[in-house]
């Protein structure tokens, strides 16, 4: 595969690449660069963890990238996930691995790293201190949004360590590409600045779009910053916001039918967000929305762009769009449900994690 094709594959799911020139140089000098994505293990997996991450990961692996999946158990403890119980958080991490398997990820082709293992060296904490010396408390406070908290929100002393720990992870794992969501860009940008200061390897950053919660984004909302939409993203701790990887077809349909989807409105509409970010592998392919003949029969769109135009013009009713999105989600979630039904270990982990109290 030539370099431009690799870059096109990355750009096909990225909202932002920092920078494309650096990404090209990485591919020119390294046939198998290292990328990573990280997660706090907690609660039941939603579609942005399962479907989106699996889709992006498969694309990156196709380019020859070596991928590290980072289970940030200590980060979850600091962030008070599952009551800050490290044992529960680690059990949730093992459950997360089973979700990836259910999504079709061959875990033998990726390296799974636990924060508690990575941090278990003086080398890690030496570099952590150097990261802290290269930034300011004000900058760290601005970066706490990477842990799903608002800037200015009251946090514990340990939570102030979070951004510097996340930056240290990048250098400790020898990462070439940080592949995370837009809500994590502040940590990645900070890592790039610190790399310049110390002449450490500077990672490129590939940020994918956020997956919106079912409530969508209010009309008229204007994001002042690129990561300001995080308050509207899908949250696994909010059942009214999330679609989970274990939801039944009936539950998916019920949730999608209740989702924010005003007539003719595309911006801030979670259904178009799901189509754009998760469900449509090729936005240039034709799309067919099935509809009873008494309501006009099937709706045909040549591609995603035409689908947007048809809905914006009022030629597609929200309920027809909802039916299509619900069906597409069911097709992708069903294999995961089946994995947990058939695999005894996976089922036991799911039942255990399902019984944990969700906190943050």
Determine, yes or no, domain membership for 341: yes
Residues 192 and 270 in one domain: no
Helices (H), the chain: 3-11, 20-29, 47, 53-62, 73-78, 86-102, 115-118, 122-133, 137-142, 157-160, 162-172, 185-198, 249-257, 270-274, 304-312, 318-342, 344-354
Mean pLDDT of the region 268-297: 92
Determine, yes or no, domain membership for 142: yes
pLDDT tens digits for range 205-225:
999 999 999 999 888 776 544
3-state class (DSSP) for residue 177: strand
Determine, yes or no, domain membership for 130: yes
Of 147 and 36, more confident: 36
Residues 156 and 255 in one domain: no
Residues 332 and 235 in one domain: yes
Determine, yes or no, domain membership for 215: no
Residues 33 and 149 in one domain: yes
- Residue 181: pLDDT above 70? yes
pLDDT tens digits for range 50-71:
999 999 999 999 999 999 999 9
Residues 250 and 158 in one domain: no
DSSP string, 234-275: --TT-TTT--BTT--HHHHHHHHHTS---TT--TT-HHHHHI
Determine, yes or no, domain membership for 134: yes
Residues 54 and 146 in one domain: yes
Number of domains composing the chain: 2
Domain boundary among 179, 208, 237: 208
Per-residue model confidence (pLDDT) at position 229: 66
Residues 161 and 279 in one domain: no
Choose the weakest-confidence range: 26-35, 221-230, 271-280: 221-230
DSSP lists the bridge partners of residue 179 as 206
Domain boundary among 208, 236, 271: 208
Domain boundary among 177, 208, 239: 208
Mean pLDDT of the region 290-303: 90
Determine, yes or no, domain membership for 203: yes
Per-residue model confidence (pLDDT) at position 227: 46
> Which candidate, 273, 360, 263, 260, places its Cα nearest to that of 310?
263
Residues 54 and 126 in one domain: yes
Residues 256 and 285 in one domain: yes
Residues 191 and 76 in one domain: yes
Per-residue model confidence (pLDDT) at position 224: 47
Residues 233 and 328 in one domain: yes
Determine, yes or no, domain membership for 359: no
Q: 296 lies in which domain range? A: 228-354
């Amino acid at each position: 595969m030539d370099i431009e094709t690799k870059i096109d594959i990355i750009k096909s799911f990225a909202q932002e690449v920092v920078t494309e020139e650096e990404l090209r140089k990485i591919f020119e000098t390294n046939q198998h660069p290292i990328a990573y994505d990280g997660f706090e293990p907690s609660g039941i997996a939603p579609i942005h963890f399962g479907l989106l991450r699996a889709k992006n990961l498969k694309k990156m692996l196709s380019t020859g990238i070596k991928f590290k999946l980072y289970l940030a158990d200590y980060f979850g403890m600091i962030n008070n996930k599952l009551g800050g119980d490290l044992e529960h958080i680690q059990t949730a991490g093992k459950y997360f691995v089973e979700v990836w398997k259910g999504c079709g990820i061959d875990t033998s082709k990726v390296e799974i790293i636990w924060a508690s293992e990575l941090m278990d060296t003086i080398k890690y904490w030496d570099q952590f201190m150097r990261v802290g010396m290269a930034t300011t408390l004000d900058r760290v406070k601005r970066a706490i949004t990477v842990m799903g908290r608002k800037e200015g929100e009251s946090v514990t002393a340990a939570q102030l360590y979070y951004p510097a720990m996340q930056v240290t992870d990048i250098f400790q794992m020898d990462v070439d590409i940080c592949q995370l969501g837009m809500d994590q860009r502040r940590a990645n940008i900070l890592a790039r600045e610190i790399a310049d200061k110390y002449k450490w390897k500077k990672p490129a950053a590939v940020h994918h779009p956020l997956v919106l919660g079912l409530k969508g984004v209010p009309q008229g909302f204007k994001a002042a910053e690129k990561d300001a939409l995080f308050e509207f993203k899908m949250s696994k701790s909010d059942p009214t916001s999330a679609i989970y990887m274990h939801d039944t077809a009936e539950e998916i349909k019920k949730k999608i039918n209740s989702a924010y989807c005003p007539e003719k409105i595309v911006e801030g509409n979670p259904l178009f967000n799901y189509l754009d970010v998760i469900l449509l592998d090729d936005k240039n392919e034709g799309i067919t929305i099935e509809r009873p003949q008494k309501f006009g029969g099937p709706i045909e769109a040549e591609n995603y762009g035409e689908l947007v135009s048809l809905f914006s013009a009022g030629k597609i009713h929200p309920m027809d769009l909802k039916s299509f999105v619900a069906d597409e989600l069911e097709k992708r979630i069903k294999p995961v449900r089946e994995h947990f039904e058939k695999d005894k270990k996976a089922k036991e982990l799911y039942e255990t994690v399902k019984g944990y109290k969700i906190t943050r």
